[in-house]
Structure 1
Amino acid sequence: MHLHDQTSRWLFRLAGGGLLLAVVLYVFEVIARYVFNAPTTWSGETVQYALAILIFCALPDITRRSAHVAIDILPETLGPRASIWLARFNHLVGALATGAAGWIVAGEALRQFERGLMTNAAHPIPRWWITAVIALGLASAALHFLRHLREVRA
């Protein structure tokens, strides 16, 4: 599982690059539009793609580190044994949900690739690669949830 952890860390760095790109392009667009009165037709689209990459490339490492937002009122009120069962249940539901979503999205990415579908934008690009990144993030998160499920001990 060392490779899975390393891949998740690498994807998280890629997410950081996506965030940096989104911020730079957003500032660029504001300056181009309001200072030079020359808005672009492509920067908004690129920021949207960067946000998809950012979210779904960060997801596996966030899941790996259990760094997601957690409301733990219920686990804190339960006893230790019930809290462990609740954690197992939550990891299982997380694995099933992200795994099923990843499977569905991967199928859609394949369909988009086979049909050569493009984005609906001023500057269209192939849809499949964005959808594939989403599927990858979901599938990797599902694997991390399964690994967490195995690690919960009584």
Structure 2
Amino acid sequence: MNFSDKTIDWLGAAAAWLFFATGMLLTWEVVARYVFSAPTIWAAEISQMFLIWGMYIALPHTIARRKNINIELLYERLPGWAQRFCDLVSVVFTGFFCIVVFWFGWEIAWDSFVRGRSTGTMLNIPNWWTEMVIPLGFGLSVLVCAADLFKLARGKPVAKPAGTGEH
């Protein structure tokens, strides 16, 4: 396992912990509101931010480990060269999509940073704190796609789709 694999796995684990923390914060909010009649001003907003961060930092892990939705009925029946061609098409389209979202996500996050936009809630969190994770997650996903393209160019297979029994 090399540095990039460890980084990808760390991102997946960090996302899982953020999802766990989101569940705990929302549970606390329910208990505080309905048991103690003392709702918080922060739990819902922080949990929303954790959920967004978790989703976007999990993206490179999902792409690298091929845990996204796949139609395996046909893929599994294809010969090896056709599977590699499908992998190539998939990686190219995924990479292109990630580049586009990275670009526009960066513009939005940078604009919020420059203009000083914030949530307008009691916590008044700067919007770029949440928006910056979009170009981060998609930028890392572009690197994953580039690594997969490099593997395919060298004749090496990318990770098999999640349901094929080969990981």
TM-score with structure 2 setting the length: 0.82
User: Residues 70-99 of structure 1: CA distance to partner in whole angstroms, max 9, x if unpaired?
Assistant: 222232343332222111000110011012
User: Residues 125-146 of structure 1: CA distance to partner in whole angstroms, max 9, x if unpaired?
Assistant: 0111211112111111121112
The equivalent of 2:16 in structure 1 is 16
User: Residues 14-41 of structure 1: CA distance to partner in whole angstroms, max 9, x if unpaired?
Assistant: 2133122211111101111111111222
The equivalent of 1:139 in structure 2 is 139
The whole-number CA distance in structure 2 between the counterparts of 1:116 and 1:4 is 34
- Whether the 8 Å CA contact 1:113–1:128 is kept in 2: the answer is yes
TM-score with structure 1 setting the length: 0.88
Q: Which consecutive residues of structure 1, in runs of 5 or more, have no partner in the other structure? A: none
* SS of equivalent residue, structure 2 residue 31: helix
The equivalent of 2:108 in structure 1 is 108
The whole-number CA distance in structure 1 between the counterparts of 2:4 and 2:131 is 20
User: Residues 38-84 of structure 1: CA distance to partner in whole angstroms, max 9, x if unpaired?
Assistant: 12222111111010011111111222222223222232343332222
The whole-number CA distance in structure 1 between the counterparts of 2:126 and 2:3 is 29
- Whether the 8 Å CA contact 1:5–1:61 is kept in 2: the answer is no
* SS of equivalent residue, structure 1 residue 103: helix
The whole-number CA distance in structure 1 between the counterparts of 2:5 and 2:109 is 24
Give the aligned residue type for 2:35: V
1:1-154 equivalent positions in 2, closer than 5 A: 2-152=2-152, 153=155
The equivalent of 2:159 in structure 1 is none
The whole-number CA distance in structure 1 between the counterparts of 2:51 and 2:101 is 19
Identity of aligned residues (%): 29
C-alpha root-mean-square deviation of aligned residues, in Å? 1.9
Q: Which of the two has greater helix per residue?
A: 1
The whole-number CA distance in structure 2 between the counterparts of 1:11 and 1:115 is 30
- The 1:14/1:76 distance shift into structure 2, 3 A limit, reads closer
- Whether the 8 Å CA contact 1:18–1:53 is kept in 2: the answer is yes
